[in-house]
Amino acid sequence: MIFSLAVYGAPFSCQASDSAYQFACALLEQGHRLHRVFFYHDGVYNGSTLATPPQDERNIPTSWSQLAEEHELDLVICVAAGLRRGMLDATEADRYEKPAHNLEQGFTLSGLGQLVEAAMISDRMITFGN
């Protein structure tokens, strides 16, 4: 079965990101396909490579990144919601003349159309909000 997940909660602030991550691991383990994880609203912070939790705590952006590499996942951060909240890749940092970019490996910035497309082609769309 084809799943997509929508994540609207900020990591380290509420449980939505953790729940989505655990759910993603479980569905992949069962052999289902994860078409896309779409990060919107405060969920965009899941893609910050600058997140620096203490070493004995889970690092949510890194966990997503590793899972994406293992399973070739499409981790999409809404570009409009991301830019507003300071989530930039190199291209956007250049475009807006910002001194830094902070997108974790494995994440991409793209439009809201990717959320709609995920809802259209997935058998199940699960929202993790806060």
Fill in the per-residue mask, 80 to 119: x = in contact with other proteins (CB under 8 A), - = not in contact: xx----------x---------------xxxxxxxxxx-x
Active site residue 78: yes
Rounded Cα gap, residues 36 and 11, in angstroms: 18
Rounded Cα gap, residues 43 and 11, in angstroms: 7
The reply on whether position 22 binds other proteins by CB under 8 A is yes
- The correct pick among 7, 10, 11, 16 for binding other proteins (CB under 8 A) is 16
Q: If residue 116 lies in a helix (H) or strand (E), which one and from where to where?
A: helix 113-121
Count how many Cα atoms sit within 13 Å of the Cα of residue 37 in the half-sphere of its side chain: 33
- Active-site residue identified among 78, 87, 88, 103: 78
The reply on whether position 74 binds other proteins by CB under 8 A is no
Q: What residues act catalytically?
A: 78
